[in-house]
A = this chain, B = another copy of it.
Amino acid sequence: MKTGLNKREKNKELNRAAILTAARILFGESGYSDTTVRDIIGRTGLASGTFYNYFRSKEEIFKALRDETARQVRPRLHAERSRATSLSDFVYLTFHSFFETIKVNRDLYEITRRNSGMLRLQQDTPEIIAGLRDDVEDAIRRGLLPRIDLDYFVPAIIGVALEVGDAMIQRIPLDVEAAARFASQLFTGGIPALSVPEGGA
């Protein structure tokens, strides 16, 4: 039955979730290579062999984490962006939803950042960002954006999102709106639009 999991099945789910969580934290903190399977399983209190009841290898859990990110994050980013009705709207929502996601899922984000090119697990674009190109193409079709060289434009968005995102996280207080405003002003009007009024910090 879909609705009810018996005790055994429920425990399986919990264990799997616990292992994933531990891996998420550790990959984020130390990177893929410097995180051992023992580190991961040790954080859960389970025995080391148990790891292999849930994941076939260390590589597999890394991929599972990526997929999780994709499943959770992509639809959300897409939904936000599709509400846009103007260029500045589109840009602001893109950055805002991305920064908001970073703030909420900081550990998943760390993994993507710290292990971008690792092993041979990499994709050209981190999952957390996937889907952006489609949405941009759609925005062009909808007339929100002018015709642009996407091979440079999409990376430009990504670059700003990642680096300004990093800066945002380190800043106190953590202000998603301010960061999103900064990035979207840059993309909407360039440097002149960024000018800080008199005694700005």
Seen from chain A, the residues whose Cβ lies within 8 Å of a Cβ on chain B are: 31-34, 87, 91, 113-114, 116-119, 145-149, 151-153, 155-156, 158-164, 166-168, 171, 179, 182-183, 186-196, 200-201
B-chain residues with CB within 8 Å of residue A113 when the two chains form the complex: 117
Residue in A32, A114, A147, A179 whose Cβ sees the most chain B Cβ within 10 Å: A147
Whether A163 contacts B158 in the complex (CB less than 8 A), given A186-B187, A196-B146, comes out as yes
* Alpha-carbon gap, A182 to B188, bound state (A): 15
How many monomers of this chain does the complex have? 4
Residue contact A196 to B149, C-beta cutoff 8 Å: yes
**Contact present for A194 and B159 (CB under 8 Å):** no
**Which residues of B are found within 8 Å of A145, using beta-carbon distances?**
191
Verify A164–B155 contact, CB threshold 8 A: yes
Looking across the interface, which residue of chain B has its beta carbon closest to that of A28? B117
In the complex, the answer to whether A186 meets B118 with C-beta atoms within 8 Å is no
- Residue of A34, A116, A190, A195 most packed against chain B (CB within 10 A): A190
Q: Is the CB of B163 within 8 A of A200?
A: no
Q: Tell me if A164 and B189 are in contact (CB < 8 A).
A: no
What residues of B have a CB within 8 angstroms of the CB of A87 in the complex?
191
CB <8 Å contact, B148 and A201: no
A149 to chain B, nearest CB (A): 6
Residue ID in chain B nearest A155 by CB atoms = B163
**In the bound complex, how far is the Cα of B194 from the Cα of A191, in angstroms?**
14
Chain B residues with CB under 8 Å of A194's CB are 146, 148-149, 153
Q: Do B31 and A34 touch (CB < 8 A)?
A: no
By beta carbon, the residue of chain B nearest A199 is B147
Q: Assuming A91-B191, A149-B201, what are 7 further A-B pairs, CB within 8 angstroms?
A: A33-B34, A113-B117, A147-B195, A152-B182, A186-B186, A187-B191, A190-B193
